[in-house]
Structure 1
């Protein structure tokens, strides 16, 4: 996204909190610089999973994504699709809303 876009600062604050800056670990991510559209294309799911599973900051990425999704800033539709931190949308949804056994 272009920093000159009028809503850029607001979006960065929503995504990254008070600092408005991405965490430092993001520059070390295996996906840094890749086309993010691939992460939302089911046809590329296996390739994307391979990138994630070989990432040196997978744990940080997963913790950050799950925390953001559960913070209430993300609506359900944002984590319903796409691969993030080696987890598909349905994988993340199951973590947030585990099935309850009916007795």
Structure 2
């Protein structure tokens, strides 16, 4: 069977385009990320966010990661911004949601 005929190929290609743009490749900074090779479940374990924070804490590309993640959430569906999941770029989903939907000063008073 030709790889292009595999039904999963088109879904995979669409995902790569959504995540990484027309190149379909991750940003170059990702090869330097401290999370490379880590079990991804670590970053979605809401009961122990400190474990993910420890990995992100010393990451040399944390700012690039955070910037890319926030841009991806901002330019996607409202669901991405309203219900961000996981620990990415040194921020929890709740912290990223607060960036996307900051409270006005009047509400906080």
Per the normalisation by structure 2, the TM-score is: 0.82
Gapped regions of structure 1 (runs ≥ 5): none
What is the number of residues matched between the two proteins?
100
Contact 1:81 1:89 in 2 (8 A): yes
When you count helix as a share of all residues, which structure comes out higher? Answer: 2
Partner of 2:66: 62
Q: Residue deviations 1:75-97, cap 9 Å, x none?
A: 33785321001100010000011
Partner-residue secondary structure (3-state), 1:31: coil
Q: Displacement, 1:50? A: 0.9
Q: Which position in structure 1 is the counterpart of 2:86?
A: 82
**What's the offset of the Cα at 1:53?**
1.1
Structure 2 residue runs of 5 or longer lacking an equivalent are: 1-5
The residue that corresponds to 2:75 in the other structure is: 71
> Quick one: structure 1 residues 51 and 22, their matched pair in 2 at CA, closer, same or farther if it must change by over 3 Å?
same
State which structure, 1 or 2, has the greater radius of gyration over its C-alpha atoms: 2
Preserved CA contact (<8 Å) 2:53 2:90: yes
